[in-house]
Amino acid sequence: MTASGLVGAVVFGLLSAYFPPLNAEIYAVAAPVLFPDLWVLHVSAMTGGLVVGKVTHFIAAEKGAEAVMKRREEKDARTAAKMRRPPGAFRERLARWSKAMIDLLDRPRLGPLVMLASSGVGFPPLAVVTVAAGIKGISLVLFTTVTMIGCLARFLITSWLVVQGIELSL
């Protein structure tokens, strides 16, 4: 029962990385109720699955950025003489915000803090930070380590609060 529950926890984490409505916080809240003696282990397994899913996003963004840059260079060479239309206001704001985020991730001290805040409290959104970190070429080991620490802390604290609520009601 425990092994299948742990496999289920990992699968839930993986699926929540790919399917946002399947929220990892739901598992963190439910784990102490479903597995009162092993909730720490289950939450840790779910977090591992989530981080593995985020790592795949990171790698895809990293590889995609390389391909996009190559295509962009080729396109720029072909269309250097053509005039481009100015971007819309929304596009411009999104581009500025994305650039600021990516620039911040590139800083040796602030980058890991942004990743830690994103994984630990959910702001800025981890999905955005994951892609930006992959595009920027942040170290995969650094990304994985910081994201694992932040997510594990967030989910364990969430579960611990549920345990405290259960104990108070008894």
For the whole model, what pTM was predicted? 0.78
Residue spans of the domains in the chain: they are: 2-77+88-169
pLDDT digits over 46-99, tens only?
999 999 999 999 999 988 877 777 777 666 556 554 545 555 777 677 567 656
CA dihedral 130, 133, 138, 142 (to 10 degrees): -30
**Burial of 162 by CB count in 10 Å (0-12 exposed, 13-18 middle, 19+ buried)?**
middle
Give the integer Cα–Cα distance in Å for 15 and 21.
10
Give the integer Cα–Cα distance in Å for 108 and 118.
16
Query: Does 1 have pLDDT greater than 50?
Result: no
pLDDT digits over 118-132, tens only?
899 887 889 889 998
